[in-house]
A and B are shown apart, each in its own frame.
Chain A
């Protein structure tokens, strides 16, 4: 992955299984959000391929890519709600475009999705009128509107209070268990990573490549790489003592 001549990450090779909760981890500035952009169709890899179920995403034509993108949902870091539409209109947009539901059914579905994320009653508010955390939850409701097969989250817990972050975790598990949704999350939140992560990839900014993949709990128990351990234990090290910062 590169911006012009500046390479951000290279030699990334990993698989995301269906029904997994896949965490993309790494220090700040290592290219996690950029990786997400490559997976969801916003940026083409400088070299390499992305496969959705054996279909080569980037060598397919624009129409086929659009088809794939309708099966995924994305929650952006700040929610990326359409600022000129109310919350209800935001969520109703994909429903109106891609389903045959009647107006009344769409309104019901919108209320249901908002209730799922804890925003019942806020249908007619504009994004500028609600707090950052609420915008994020509304963005999640919109990402879930079409019950996508894969949900991508860019820093989902950033800006959420601990209780909301926990509710979000529960929601993610619920989606995975009931609808079989695959989740791909870029996140730093260690509590969530260990609570819900089933697979992961660790990106490093100095070596510009991935250091490990696997279940985060396993990585914590078995990894030899100090950078991974420092990340997963918040600098404390496996023994619980402060790892030196010198």
Chain B
């Protein structure tokens, strides 16, 4: 015979006691106020006692029950499930009607077999394996996407791609003019930094004039296209992924498919075209701003006159360098569009999935950009361009 009550912790007192009756029966006495803030003896203690007493029938007597809310049926449900599992007869006839109704409702639809999921901690080997499989799946997705994209571009070249021109203009506006400010700022500052860091070293040999070469070639061939691409992947790549991901969540992409309109042509082509049109222009502009930034440092900190700066650049940089940067930016544009749109369309069906898609898009784009930049630079080096 055990009793538990709590008068010290909270003001609400709820009591439960298990008493032994005759002929392997037990009586569960419930009294007090069974409310949300009450301290109640854990149900496991009652269940262990039932186990120990090997009871065949359990009667519940709520003689002193003053008030109850969800605490009571919740508690009793566990006892009821235990009784069913151990084939103990349960008598709830004395309980208030409301409690009995709630218990009946909670037990009306039996737990679907196979529905409950179990959390398992996987070993390191399993985790590695899962990652590798995930990588393989992603690569497949990429290859399929690029294949479909090539088919869509082929259709575009034959004049058969279906998308709204208005959409294209909206994307062009967003990728181009709307990105002007941030590209200006970043490329100006990068040019400045490049010039400053380089000139500090060059000044030791009195060779400050070669800042111009450093900044101009570095910007036009590498930093211009690279920085612009990274900016655009964060701005526009993520935006594309989020737009398409949200459309996926709303079943809008399914709706396009069942309408007989190819999502690749309708959604992806205008986005890719916008980037391909705008990024080279932004890159050229970034090149200019980088050179201007370098000029500011050269003139302001290292006493290189602007005329000297200009002439040095004219000697060092020729059209081939600018063309290299331009072509790189075209490649980067396509890669960013692929990364953004692929992750968007493969997005899962929840809000957090859209966030994951945007993140994955940016990470993918940056990886593609830097890897392709390295490859291109390597190849051009070998070809001595």
Contact = CB atoms under 8 A, between A and B. Distances in A.
Whether chain B is bound by chain A comes out as: yes
Given A93-B259, A98-B260, A80 B108 contact: no
Interface string B230-255: 00000000000000001100111011
B247 A74 contact: no
Given A83-B250, A245-B104, A245-B108, A42 B258 contact: yes
Interface string A203-224: 0011000000000000000000
Given A97-B162, A245-B104, A245-B108, A82 B255 contact: yes
Contacts of A81: 252, 255
Interface in A13-42: 40-42
B258 A72 contact: yes
A97 B255 contact: no
Contacts of B104: 245-246
A70 interface: yes
Nearest to A145: B259
B116 to A, nearest CB: 14
A42 B257 CA distance: 8
Contacts of A42: 254, 257-258
B304 interface: no
Contacts of A40: 258
B281 interface: no
A134 B260 CA distance: 24
Contacts of B251: 76-78, 80
B250 A78 contact: yes
B252 A69 contact: no
B252 A83 contact: yes
Contacts of B252: 80-83
A94 interface: yes
A66 interface: yes
Nearest to B260: A70
A68 to B, nearest CB: 9
A42 B251 CA distance: 11
Given A78-B250, A83-B247, A83-B250, A41 B255 contact: no
Interface string A60-100: 00000011011010101110111100000000011001100
A75 B259 CA distance: 11
B12 interface: no
Nearest to B163: A97
Nearest to A40: B258
B292 interface: no
B168 interface: no
A135 B132 CA distance: 43
B261 interface: yes
A74 to B, nearest CB: 4
Contacts of B259: 69-70, 74, 93-94
A190 to B, nearest CB: 19
A74 B256 CA distance: 10
Q: Could you say which of B104, B251, B256 has the most chain A C-beta atoms within 10 Å of its C-beta?
A: B251
Nearest to B253: A80
B255 A76 contact: yes
B158 to A, nearest CB: 14
A92 to B, nearest CB: 10
Interface string A157-170: 00000000000000
B260 A66 contact: yes
Q: Could you say which of A40, A76, A206 has the most chain B C-beta atoms within 10 Å of its C-beta?
A: A76
B83 to A, nearest CB: 15
A48 to B, nearest CB: 20
Contacts of B254: 42, 76, 80
B257 A69 contact: yes
Contacts of A80: 250-252, 254-255
Nearest to A66: B260
A246 B252 CA distance: 42
A49 B282 CA distance: 52
A60 B252 CA distance: 24
B257 A41 contact: yes
Interface in A168-212: 205-206
Nearest to B114: A6
B250 A97 contact: no
A85 B179 CA distance: 24
Q: Could you say which of A42, A74, A80 has the most chain B C-beta atoms within 10 Å of its C-beta?
A: A80
A67 to B, nearest CB: 8
A69 B250 contact: no
Contacts of A245: 104, 108
A81 B255 CA distance: 8
Report, nearest first, the 4 A-B pairs whose CB atoms are least far apart. A70-B260, A80-B255, A80-B251, A245-B108
5 contacts: A69-B260, A72-B258, A82-B256, A97-B260, A245-B108
Given A69-B260, A93-B259, 20 more contacts: A40-B258, A42-B257, A74-B255, A76-B254, A78-B250, A80-B251, A80-B255, A81-B255, A82-B247, A82-B255, A82-B256, A83-B247, A83-B250, A94-B259, A94-B260, A94-B261, A97-B162, A98-B260, A245-B108, A246-B104
Interface of B: 104, 107-108, 112, 162, 246-247, 250-252, 254-262
Interface of A: 40-42, 66-67, 69-70, 72, 74, 76-78, 80-83, 93-94, 97-98, 205-206, 245-246
